[in-house]
Amino acid sequence: AGTGKFFVGGNWKCNGTKESITKLVSDLNDAKLESDVDVVVAPPFVYIDQVKSSLTDKIEISAQNSWVSKGGAFTGEISVEQLKDIGAKWVILGHSERRHVIGEDDLFIGKKAAYALNEGLGVIACIGELLEDREAGKTFDVCFTQLKAYADAVPSWDNIVIAYEPVWAIGTGKVASPQQAQEVHAALRDWLKKNVSDEVASKTRIIYGGSVNGGNCAELAKQEDIDGFLVGGASLKGPEFATIVNSVT
């Protein structure tokens, strides 16, 4: 950790029921969370209202996706305006599951990021390489291409957190080693320095995601360029998520 306030997001993905989410919210409300950390959870859309009305206001709400323009005749989509109306402050964009399962591309993701930022939502901008990219020595190329797509599209970097999530580490239990993650985070910061500005490079938080859990978070959090985490599976367990939030100390 080194840049700005430590940032920990819980991406609940497409998990949960009214009952399990009631329990998770109550565990989060009971947890002792380090106050000097930005903590955000991203419930499935249909539970955002329930979570917003029952969760401590020390934790902010993120959506897991948002539509690319103003709402209207877009069946099945959720607009940025609706997310703001319901109290969301953030949106996760460019997640690997949306890139690789749903088929969203860099251009579309960049447009979504620009729209959300222009309307005042914070963006958790995800990037990350596939295993085959890493094995072919293309990790930096792939991550820089994805980062450039955001850089080309966004109006400002004030409200962006970059989430580096190597696809081979997501949901696999195969976490990147602290050195592997630090190496990419440092390269991303360097890319920002060369291609955006010194200021953006030094103030933009770069968080790591991919099999983060209560056991491996402390070592990762010690790395200079790891400014927080985006947590999937382990964010569904309140006490473990709290351990990850508190790993910065």
Q: Please pick, among 60, 95, 185, 240, the residue that the annotation labels catalytic.
A: 95
Q: Which of 110, 166, 233, 238 binds ligand G3P (CB under 6 A)?
A: 233
Using CB under 6 A, which residues numbered 156 to 195 contact ligand G3P? 165, 170-171
CB contact at 8 A, 24 and 16:
yes
Q: Please pick, among 104, 129, 165, 240, the residue that the annotation labels catalytic.
A: 165
- Do strands 6-11 and 228-231 pair parallel, antiparallel, or not at all (unpaired)? parallel
Q: Quote the least distance from Cβ 11 to ligand G3P, whole Å.
A: 4
The residue whose two tokens read 């949306």 is: 98
Nearer to ligand G3P, 210 or 228 (CB): 210
Amino acid found at 100? H
Nearer to ligand G3P, 201 or 212 (CB): 212
Secondary structure of 142-171 in HEC code, one letter for each residue: HHHHHHHHHHHHCCCCCCEEEEECCHHHCC
- State whether residue 136 is helix, strand or coil: coil
Q: Is 100 a catalytic residue?
A: no
Nearer to ligand G3P, 79 or 211 (CB): 211
Q: How far, CA to CA in Å, does 96 sit from each of 4, 22, 46?
A: 25, 27, 21
Q: Give residue number: closest CB to ligand G3P.
A: 232
Q: Which of 41, 217, 220, 231 binds ligand G3P (CB under 6 A)?
A: 231
Phi then psi for residue 55, to 5 deg, are: -90, 145
Quote the tokens at residue 219: 């070592």
* Distance separating alpha carbons of residues 246 and 101, to the nearest angstrom: 32
Nearer to ligand G3P, 1 or 42 (CB): 42
Q: Is 95 a catalytic residue?
A: yes
Phi then psi for residue 22, to 5 deg, are: -60, -45
Residue 109 in the binding site for ligand G3P (CB under 6 A) = no
Q: Which of 37, 88, 91, 230 binds ligand G3P (CB under 6 A)?
A: 230
Stretch that binds ligand G3P, among 29-37, 82-90, 184-192, 229-237 (CB under 6 A): 229-237
Nearer to ligand G3P, 24 or 201 (CB): 24
Q: Which of 43, 210, 228, 238 binds ligand G3P (CB under 6 A)?
A: 210
Q: What is the dihedral of CA 40, 144, 190, 158, to 10 degrees?
A: -40
Residue 43 in the binding site for ligand G3P (CB under 6 A) = no
Residue 232 in the binding site for ligand G3P (CB under 6 A) = yes
Q: How far, CA to CA in Å, does 168 sit from each of 28, 104, 139, 215?
A: 29, 18, 12, 19
**Number of shown-chain residues binding ligand G3P (CB under 6 A):** 14
Per CB under 6 A, residues contacting ligand G3P are 11, 95, 165, 170-171, 209-212, 230-234
Active-site positions? 95, 165
